[in-house]
Amino acid sequence: MLSNEIEKAYELAREQYAKHGIDTDQVLEQLDKIKISVHCWQGDDVRGFLFQDQDLSGGISVTGSHPGAARTAGELRQDLEQAFSMIPGRHKVNLHAIYADTDEKPDLDEIMPHHYEPWVEWAKEQGLGLDFNPTCFSHEKSKEGFTLSHPDASIRQFWIDHCKASRRIGAYFGEQLGQTCVTNIWIPDGYKDTPVDRMAPRKRLMESLNEVFAEPIDPAFNVDAVESKLFGLGSEAYVVGSHEFYMGYAIKNQKLTCLDSGHFHPTETISGKLSSLALFTSGLLLHVSRPMRWDSDHVVVMDDELLEIARELVRHRLLDVTHIGLDFFDGSINRVAAWVIGTRSTIKALLRAMLEPVETLKQAELEGDYTTRLALTEEFKSYPFGAVWDYYCLKTGVPVRETWLEQAKDYEQNVLLPRWNSSLS
Ligand code: RNT
Ligand code: ZN
C-alpha cells in the first residue's frame, strides 16, 4: 500500500470515529506509550544458556522443531532486534534467570547483576526496559517437582536464595535503565495425584516467600509479582501456588498478582477477573497467552479473550497499574514471526479497545438501554480500526500489514537457516 493511500484511509476513519467523540490522534499517542514485556523465551524454546544439558521441566512444554532457534545470548538479541523492527512502539524484554550471558558458570543461587551485563548494555542501546524471573525449573534441584515449598529445608533454601538474588538483579535492571523492573515468581510445585495434606506445602511456600521478600527494595527499581496456576504436566491434582493462595498473598503483602490466561479452567477468563482484583491490589501483571484445550501457550492472536482483556484495561483505565507481559512458546513456526504476531496482535487489540465509544456504551448500560449497548457494540466491530492501525505502523516506521512477513522470511533465509545448518555440522 502506498503511504498516501494509508493516509487517505486514515483521514476517512478519523472522521468516522470523531462522530462518536473518539479522537484517533490522541488514541495513537496513548497507544504509543504502552510497553509490552516481550518474553525472551519464545526465541529458544525456553532453554536458556546456563544449563543447556537440562531438559525443559516444571510441567511446561514446547513442541515443534522449526529450524533456527537462538543458541547464544547474542543470537537471541539479534532475533529480538529483528522482531522489534517489525513491532510499533518501545517495549521491554522479559528475561528468565537461565538467560544469563556470562562465561562464569554460576548456579542459580549465585547469580549476580554482572552475569546479565550484556543484556543491560544492549537494552540501553536499544531503548528497551527489562523484566526478570527466577527460573525455578529445568534444574537438578527442582526435579522432584518442588522448589520453594520443598519439604527439605536445604532445597527450599537454595530456591529462596535464587529468588532473593533475582530480586537484586531486577533492582539493578531498574536502576540502570531508569524504568521499574517487574520480577515475577512462578514455581512448578505440585502433586501429580491427590495429596493428603494440601496445607503444609502452602504454609512452607508462604514462609519461603516471606524470606524472599524480606529485603526491602526501592519500588522505583523493582516490584515483585507472584503467578498462580491451576495445574501443570505432572501437577494435575494439586498446585501449591493456586490462584487463591497468591491472590491472598499478594493482597496481604502488597505484591502484584500475575494472571496468566492459560492458568485457569478452560472456560474461566482472566478478563473477567481484572475489575475485581484492581479494586484490591496495587497493581497487576498479565501473562497474555493462548490456551488451546489446556495451558498450551499458543502464540497470542486477536481473539475474543484478547479483545476482552484489552477492553477491561482501557475501559477501567487500568493501563497505568497493569504490566502487560506475553507468555507463549511455539517451536513449530518461525520464532521471530511468533513474537511479531503475538505482540502486534496485543497492541492491535488495545487499539481496537481504545476506538470504542466507551462513555456512550456505559451511559446506555446505566440507563438500562441494553438494545443500544448490544447494537453499538456489534456495529463497532466493523468500524475501520485497520486504517488507524496501518497509519500507526506507517508513522512509527514499521512494516504496514503483512509486508513484515517478507522481512521475516528474508531473515529466516539469511540468518536463521544458515545458523541451523552450521549447528548441525
Ligand atoms: C508456566 C508459567 C510461567 C512460564 C515462564 C517460562 O506455566 O506460565 O510464566 O511460562 O516463566
Ligand atoms: Zn506465565
Residue 157 carries which side chain, given as an amino acid letter?
Q
pLDDT at position 234 is 96
In this structure, the answer to whether residues 340 and 396 fall within a common structural domain is no
**φ, ψ dihedrals at 107, nearest 5°:** -80, 170
The reply to whether the predicted model has a pTM over 0.85 is yes
pLDDT at position 354 is 98
Mean pLDDT, residues 224-244: 98
For residue 199, pLDDT beyond 80: yes
**pLDDT one-digit tens code per residue, 83-137:** 999 999 999 999 999 999 999 999 999 999 999 999 999 999 999 999 999 999 9
Strands 294-298, 290-292: pairing is: antiparallel
In this structure, the answer to whether residues 265 and 193 fall within a common structural domain is yes
Cα–Cα distance, 48 to 51 (Å, whole number): 7
Nearest ligand 1 atom to the CA of 289 is 8
Mean pLDDT, residues 322-347: 98
Confidence of residue 53 (pLDDT cuts 50, 70, 90): confident
Cα–Cα distance, 166 to 169 (Å, whole number): 5
pLDDT at position 423 is 61
For residue 77, pLDDT beyond 70: yes
In this structure, the answer to whether residues 261 and 180 fall within a common structural domain is yes
Instruction: Please give, one letter per residue, the 3-state secondary structure of the chain.
Output: CCHHHHHHHHHHHHHHHHCCCCCHHHHHHHHHCCCEEEEHHHHCCCCCCCCCCCCCCCCCCCCCCCCCCCCCHHHHHHHHHHHHCCCCCCCEEEEEHHHCCCCCCCCCCCCCHHHHHHHHHHHHHHCCEEEEECCCCCCHHHCCCCCCCCCCHHHHHHHHHHHHHHHHHHHHHHHHHCCCEEEEECCCCEECCCCCCCHHHHHHHHHHHHHHCCCCCCCCCEEEEEECCCCCCCCCCEECCCHHHHHHHHHHHCCEEEEECCCCCCCCCCHHHHHHHHHHCCCEEEEECEEECEEEEECCCCCHHHHHHHHHHHHCCCHHHEEEEECCCCCCCCHHHHHHHHHHHHHHHHHHHHCCCHHHHHHHHHCCCHHHHHHHHHHHCCCCHHHHHHHHHHHHCCCCCCHHHHHHHHHHHHHHHHHHHHHHC
Cα–Cα distance, 94 to 181 (Å, whole number): 9
Domain boundary among 354, 370, 405: 354
Which of 106, 119, 110 minimizes the C-alpha distance to 77? 119
| Three cell numbers written together for 344 | 502486534
For residue 425, pLDDT beyond 70: no
In this structure, the answer to whether residues 284 and 323 fall within a common structural domain is yes
Q: What percent of the chain has pLDDT over 70?
A: 99
Tally Cβ neighbours within 10 Å of residue 125.
10
Tally Cβ neighbours within 10 Å of residue 349.
25
**pLDDT one-digit tens code per residue, 339-358:** 999 999 999 999 999 999 99
Among protein residues, the one whose CA lies closest to atom 2 of ligand 1: 186
Distance from the alpha carbon of residue 341 to the mean position of ligand 1, in angstroms:
19
Q: Which CATH number characterizes residue 335's domain?
A: 3.20.20.150
In this structure, the answer to whether residues 4 and 105 fall within a common structural domain is no
Choice among 32-36, 271-275, 293-297, 417-421 with the minimum mean pLDDT: 417-421
In this structure, the answer to whether residues 145 and 19 fall within a common structural domain is no
For residue 385, pLDDT beyond 90: yes
In this structure, the answer to whether residues 260 and 190 fall within a common structural domain is yes
Domain boundary among 304, 331, 354: 354
In this structure, the answer to whether residues 286 and 389 fall within a common structural domain is no
What is the overall mean pLDDT for the chain?
97
User: The domain containing residue 316 runs over which residues?
Assistant: 35-354
For residue 13, pLDDT beyond 50: yes
In this structure, the answer to whether residues 88 and 237 fall within a common structural domain is yes
Residue linked to cell 493482597: 251
In this structure, the answer to whether residues 122 and 206 fall within a common structural domain is yes
Which of 321, 306, 316 minimizes the C-alpha distance to 351? 306
What's the number of domains the chain is made of? 2
Q: Which residues pair with 294 in a beta bridge?
A: 292
Q: Which residues pair with 184 in a beta bridge?
A: 225
Give the ligand whose atoms come closest to the C-alpha of residue 133. Answer: 1
pLDDT at position 381 is 96
Distance from the alpha carbon of residue 22 to the mean position of ligand 2, in angstroms:
34
Distance from the alpha carbon of residue 209 to the mean position of ligand 1, in angstroms:
18
| Three cell numbers written together for 265 | 479452567
Choice among 35-49, 50-64, 262-276 with the minimum mean pLDDT: 50-64
**pLDDT one-digit tens code per residue, 209-227:** 999 999 999 999 999 999 9
| Three cell numbers written together for 264 | 485457569
8 A C-beta contact, residue 172 and residue 212: no
In this structure, the answer to whether residues 303 and 405 fall within a common structural domain is no
**pLDDT one-digit tens code per residue, 282-292:** 899 999 999 99
The residues annotated as belonging to the active site are 186, 227, 229, 260, 263, 287, 295, 297, 327
Nearest ligand 1 atom to the CA of 229 is 7
In this structure, the answer to whether residues 180 and 219 fall within a common structural domain is yes
What residues are in contact with ligand 1 under a 6 Å CB criterion? 41, 46, 60, 133, 186, 227, 229, 260, 287, 295, 327
